[in-house]
Amino acid sequence: MKVVMYTDGGSRGNPGVAGSGTVVYAADGVTVLREIAYVVGKGSTNNVAEYHGLLRGLEAARDLGATEVETYMDSKLVVEQISGRWKIKHPDMQKLALEARRIISGFQSFSITWVPRAKNKVADALSNDAMDACAAGHPVGIVQRADAPATETPSPAPAPASDSETPIPASNLSWLGERGPVTRLILLRHGATAMSEAYQYAGRTDAELSSAGRAQADAAARAASRWSVDAIVSSPLQRCRDTAQAVGSAVNLPVLTADNLREMDFGAWEGHTFDEAHQRDPELHSEWLEDTSIAPPGGESQQALHRRVLKARRALVDEYPGKTVLVVSHVGPIKDLLRQALGTGAATVNHIFLDLASVSVVEFWDSGSLVRSINDVSHLGLD
């Protein structure tokens, strides 16, 4: 069995808050087998973090039963040291390299190749996730709470959308064990606006719902009686507040707001279509689509969005343990919450489609997370 893996590591301060990221693919280089964000510690260097990224990948490849391992890193130092072309003087790295070579010796075939950072974006994003977790107090080790499932036991097939409207017997989730208080988030994307209908980037603009958007909000309100929500929390932008208020009036609940649930700031691309933004900044726009650390001119990166949405989700879980919360937000934050519940890396958001006024359902508890449904539009009467 052959696997292809990309690894990275970083330190904010060098030495400082450090983490590593690793993604392991099947032989096709496309199918993801493992994504690992690992907290290295609060006093480590870039190079030590990069070695940890390599080690976590080698351990995953071994556990998966790989016999051939093809490795790519953007650390010239680690690549040359593991290849035996450069000497290792740092005592910490000597130990890490020794452990790496011990695992490598168990494979039939191993190769390691340097690649530029631009070709190592998934691992880089995972290492940033790990550094964020480290800064937030996560102990040394693989990031699990909120960012990875607590178990690798395969989940059962997704339930039909209608099942999310009624309580599911606990026996159906027995494979998860005792979860403790579970916070369910029903994620409702706001209804249509004139900007969404024109396919324009709409982040900080406080756009109103269009007539179609108001109809979508009313449809969500009619469905809300089946959701049994305990609270409603919305982005402060009007298109979300108006959508949330339609539901709140139907279920007799007030609408609270959380600033961290607002949409990504698209900066100079605000109000432009995809093609217009690309014509304005062709190289930057292409890089932004591929690299989560890049922000639009004067705007916000995907990584920055993730950090604040993570704070918003943790606040909701702390505030509403064991409750069901309707979260009314935008496509960017909702995709990020789905990514958090899936326990995957930043690239996941590029593989999720969300209709206007769609509903997705996720759950979080102290040591894990679960996705129940994505992009349910049955309440809108759509196919």
Q: According to the annotation, is 313 in a ligand binding site?
A: no
Radius of gyration for the alpha carbons in the chain, expressed in angstroms and rounded: 22
Instruction: For 111, list phi and psi in degrees, rounded to 5.
Output: -140, 150
Strands across the sheet containing 183-189:
255-257, 231-234, 324-329, 183-189, 359-365, 368-376
Query: How many CB atoms within 10 Å of residue 320?
Result: 17
Considering the candidates 263, 270, 300, 363, report the single residue annotated as catalytic. Answer: 263
Contact at 8 Å (CB) between 305 and 333? yes
190 is catalytic: yes
For residue 33, give the nearest of 79, 2, 72, 78 by alpha carbon.
2
List the structure tokens of 333.
């934050």
How far from the centroid of its chain's Cα atoms is residue 167's Cα? 27
Considering the candidates 190, 272, 306, 379, report the single residue annotated as catalytic. Answer: 190
List the structure tokens of 255.
């609408």
C-alpha 323/C-alpha 93 separation (Å) is: 47
Residues known to be catalytic: 190, 263
